[in-house]
Amino acid sequence: MSIKKFKHINNLAVFQDFDWDAIIRDDKGAIVEFSPINIFYGRNYSGKTTLSRIMRALELGTISDKYEAPEFTVCIKDLSDVTQVNLSAHTKKVRVFNEDFVKENLRFISNADESIVPFAILGGNTALEEEIKNLSNELGLEHEETPTGFYLERKNAREIYRTAKNTHETIIKQLDSKLTQKATSRETGIKYKPERFGDQNYNKTKLDADITLTLTDGFEPITDEAQQTLLILLDEKPNANIVALSRQNFSLVELSTEAELLVTKSLTASGKIEELVRNSILNKWVKEGKTLHEHKLVNCTFCGNKITEERWSALESHFDEESEKLSRGIASLMTKVEAEVSLVSDFLSFDNNAFYSKFHPNLNRLRVGMEHILEQYKESLEQLRLQLGARADDIINVGTFSEPVDFSTRLVKAYDFYEGIRSQSNAYTGKLSGDQASARTSLRLKEVYDFVTTIQYLEEVKNIEILKEKLDEKEADGKTIANKIKDQINLIESKQRLMNDEEKGALKVNEYLNNYFGHDFLTLKAIEEPDSITDGKKIRFEIVRNGNKAHHLSEGECSLIAFCYFMAKLEDIDTKGQKPIIWIDDPISSLDGNHIFFIYSLINSKIVTSQEFEQLFISTHNLDFLKYLKRLPGALNKNQSKYFMTVREGEKSQIKLMPKYLKDYVTEFNYLFHQIYICANADTDDDDQHIVYYNFANNARKFLESFLFYKYPNAVEHDEKLYRFFGDNRQASSMTERINNEYSHLEGIFERSMIPVDVPEMKKVANFVLDRIKEKDLDQFESLLKSIGVQLLEEPEENV
């Protein structure tokens, strides 16, 4: 969980709109991030201290109010980004050495009347030390990859919890996916079937509500048969108004009354042929024969004899007007009966399709019942017809009349029932849309109910609840272990407080001063004084020289004391064993070469070699110190160490990757050679190269002074060395001398500062220098090129 990068810095001193991801990339374009060890190099005022102040803001949880609207984002592995508004959100131990640390803790440097803020480290109680050691062993180490003790228990608990959480979330996601699919899938989702389920804005939230409804007590889904009925209803379109059928008058009663009169009517007996009266069949036969022979034939076609007048007279008397009238009456009534049969055959003729489907069942029942009643009614008419036919066949004799059953009342009721259905169907047009909406709701709920049953929703929910209970148990286990660690830390700290010894802090500083720097005459002393506030004691630190309070310390002495104080404070009770993130900003100010080496040795032995850090940042402006830092364990391992530069251009600074030549060949000589090489090969039309030309005179002068001193170490004037170096090329020596004098010094020729830089001349001089070095010593030239990461191309051989 180390710091990965300063993702963004804006409006913070010399940093404006700095974007890490846009700038800090390797030669393959990949973003480079911080390593366990990180080395920064930069000239003074290039922004090194500003970066340390960002880190100190993470340490203290606040940033100086002297900055106006600062913005920065620090990325930390496995934690949320830290910005200027949530400086205390992270859980890292950060310790920063910079000028702010010195001012806050060693105030005597700026004010002789002030003292040094004391700090306590563990004292020398053997029993307590052993107890603390045992407690610390139980607690273990909070190593990211290989923790021990309680931290290992916590890691295992977290892994178990993470597994349980993943399982729980996976089951939830699977169920959620099923619900989402059912709600909004284009192929099977309820949303995309609004014509059936009625909601084109249907979503998972609405599905959840429907599921809750279908699972309530008392909910009953519609049956499959009802489902089919409702589906038919959804296909309904508003019907035209159904016109009423004419109400029909049934005549069975009138026909029956009239038939009874005709069937039971008696005829006068005088003049009747007895034989025919007794035999109705013969009577009918004779009557038909009379009709066939009368006024047509003289002889009987049956026997061939002549029909006499007396026989005609007897037949006329037998078949008199009364009987003929009765026969005609019977025939007429039978015609009425037949007409009634035809009339009722078309009774209540209707088309189901004219009605809404919900009325079809009643219409079908009506149709079946009505057909049965009509058959009965027709049977009653048939009874009348048969009785009339029987009397017509035996017109002479009085018949017996049997009154048929009258079913006309039932037919009237059937008509009224039909009219009720017709009225309801016509009225239903206005209710159709509402019933269809209700039908869609019922169909949707049945769809949801069937879906819940199919996916075994209740079983899945129960399984999720069981997994949640297990997850809560694992979370509780993790909290128990976390509390266990917290309690153990509190116990250790409480016992450490029993051993707090501020004097030990002073002795640790003195140990570093004496062992590493040999300053046994300059020491830090812990002075005990009464505390008027607590009525107890308080400790202050004081610098002592030869037994007396020291005054007028040199800048170098102040630097040594400040850094030794910082190193000793890494062993105070709040830091010891915590493996903090450490930032050391330019600790070698005003120190000579020996002291610079000792600073390096102290960092190496007490921080790096002992691995008492999680992540280390060191910044410097000193190339000698940078050279030493390359010797740190892991410094040359690209996975363990990264090298950066702070580069200021005008009023703005950037963080950049350290160039290879500066990382691999740490001398200013190589750097100056590289600047001359860049000038010689720069594009004169590129505005971004302006700074190269602007600094060229100083860089060339310093390079040539160093280069020519080692080439001509005898006491010869610089100008003479230029002439000797360039030989017969007087143009090269003259132009170089002119640029060195006029562009690297403004004294006496101030007007030069008002004239634009002469780019072509500088580019030409840079090439003069490179060509001459190559000409005089090719091996050295190639070595210098390699030191700045340039491979010399072989020149083609000339044809012989």
Residue-wise pLDDT for 676-717, tens only, equals: 888 888 776 655 566 667 778 888 888 888 888 888 877 566
Q: Is residue 663 part of a domain?
A: no
Same domain, 625 and 679: no
Which residue is listed with tokens 């489907």?
A: 357
Least confident of 273-282, 342-351, 354-363, 636-645: 273-282
Least confident of 147-151, 348-352, 696-700, 744-748: 744-748
Chain centroid to CA 494: 45
Q: Across the beta sheet with 548-549, what order do the strands follow?
A: 522-531, 536-545, 548-549
Q: Which residues on adjacent β-strands are paired with residue 527? A: 540
Which residues contact residue 381 at a Cβ distance below 8 angstroms, ignoring those fewer than 6 apart?
252, 255, 337, 340, 341, 344, 404
pLDDT for 360 beyond 70: yes
Least confident of 92-101, 334-343, 528-537: 528-537
pLDDT on residue 681: 85
Q: Which two tokens stand for residue 688?
A: 């971004």
Q: Which residues form the domain of 768?
A: 668-787
Give 123's pLDDT tier (boundaries 50, 70, 90): low
pLDDT for 748 beyond 60: no
pLDDT for 656 beyond 90: yes
Segment 73-87, tens digit of pLDDT: 999 988 889 999 999
pLDDT on residue 665: 63
User: What is the spatial distance between Cα 560 and Cα 587, in angstroms, rounded to a whole number?
Assistant: 8
pLDDT on residue 754: 38
* Residue 742 near residue 749 (C-beta atoms within 8 A): yes
Q: Is residue 158 part of a domain?
A: no
- Using a cut of 0.75, tell me whether the model's pTM lies above it: no
pLDDT for 210 beyond 90: yes
What mean pLDDT, rounded, does the chain reach? 82
Q: Is residue 730 part of a domain?
A: yes
Identify the CA nearest to 33 among candidates 25, 41, 44: 25
- At residue 325, what are phi and psi to the nearest 5 degrees? -65, -40
Same domain, 264 and 397: yes
Same domain, 313 and 339: yes
Same domain, 290 and 325: yes
pLDDT for 117 beyond 70: no
Which residue is listed with tokens 């006068």?
A: 268
pLDDT on residue 706: 83
3-state secondary structure of 36: coil
pLDDT on residue 212: 93
Q: Which of 384, 411, 438 is the last residue of a domain?
A: 411
User: What is the spatial distance between Cα 282 and Cα 404, in angstroms, rounded to a whole number?
Assistant: 29
Q: Which two tokens stand for residue 341?
A: 């049969």
Give 483's pLDDT tier (boundaries 50, 70, 90): very high
Segment 551-571, tens digit of pLDDT: 777 777 788 888 888 888 888
Same domain, 386 and 523: no
Mean pLDDT of 509-528: 69
pLDDT for 529 beyond 80: no
pLDDT on residue 751: 44
pLDDT for 55 beyond 90: yes
Distances (CA, A) of 297 to 237, 273, 743: 74, 22, 167
Same domain, 351 and 269: yes
pLDDT on residue 756: 42
Mean pLDDT of 439-463: 92
- At residue 96, what are phi and psi to the nearest 5 degrees? -125, 130
Same domain, 688 and 710: yes
108 vs 760: which has the higher pLDDT: 760
Same domain, 542 and 684: no
pLDDT on residue 239: 76
Same domain, 627 and 680: no
Which residue is listed with tokens 């990211």?
A: 144
Q: Which of 658, 692, 726 is the last residue of a domain?
A: 658
* Residue 265 near residue 401 (C-beta atoms within 8 A): no
| Domains identified in the chain, total number | 4
Identify the CA nearest to 250 among candidates 343, 372, 385: 343
Q: Give percent above pLDDT 90 in the chain.
A: 28
Same domain, 395 and 268: yes
Identify the CA nearest to 640 among candidates 608, 610, 666, 667: 608
pLDDT on residue 645: 93
3-state secondary structure of 726: helix
Segment 229-241, tens digit of pLDDT: 888 888 777 777 8
Same domain, 540 and 603: no
Q: Of 157-171, 344-358, 660-674, 777-791, give the range with the top mean pLDDT.
A: 157-171
Q: Which of 358, 391, 411 is the last residue of a domain?
A: 411
- Residue 8 belongs to a domain with what CATH number? 3.40.50.300
Mean pLDDT of 260-264: 89
Would you list the DSSP string of 138-162? HH----SSS--HHHHHHHHHHHHHH
Other Cβ atoms less than 10 A from the Cβ of 387: the count is: 23
Q: Specify the DSSP class assigned to residue 121.
A: E
* Residue 475 near residue 168 (C-beta atoms within 8 A): no
Mean pLDDT of 295-317: 69
660 vs 606: which has the higher pLDDT: 606
